[in-house]
Structure 1
């Protein structure tokens, strides 16, 4: 038996860390950073508008790639399934 084996306990040690308090502190800091005027619905609406802009005005090759990624399930289908012109 090596010295390293002798240092190991014969049975597994029950080890648990409760991060509940830390998580509550983290959430408090996130909400404070967002501020009282943060509107999650408006934030989501802005994100959707950004995605619409991202996939608009695609040329033929870009549209083909977009369609391929949608068919593969990599991107969600947006609107009618075609990127906006």
Structure 2
């Protein structure tokens, strides 16, 4: 982009710090005072475990292939309590 005189480029910057702070405050307000992030994470982990439980042999091979390819996380990845 060049300046209005056409003599050269100029730097354009936009500080979104205040907008990001407002957005985060709105998210926290929408979650409400009773939101428990630990319970939410635990529920998500339980749902994921249930989703991949009871796979037949072919489904288990497909799941293992997707984990090996990095498409899906392994069952214990991201769980700090499992390390």
Please indicate the TM-score interval, normalised by the length of the shorter structure.
0.7 to 0.9
Cα distance in 2 for partners of 1:45, 1:20 equals: 31
- Structure 1 unmatched ranges of 5 or more: 1-6, 80-85
TM-score by length of 2: 0.80
TM-score by length of 1: 0.78
**Per-residue displacement from partner, 1:47-74 (whole Å, max 9, x unpaired)?**
0001001101111211110011111122
Superposed CA RMSD in Å reads: 1.5
Say how many residue pairs are matched: 73
**Per-residue displacement from partner, 1:27-61 (whole Å, max 9, x unpaired)?**
11000000001011110000000100110111121
Q: Runs ≥4 in structure 1, deviation > 4 angstroms?
A: none
Are 1:44 and 2:41 counterparts?
Answer: yes
- Structure 2 unmatched ranges of 5 or more: 77-83
**Which structure has the larger Rg over C-alpha atoms?**
1
Cα distance in 2 for partners of 1:39, 1:49 equals: 15
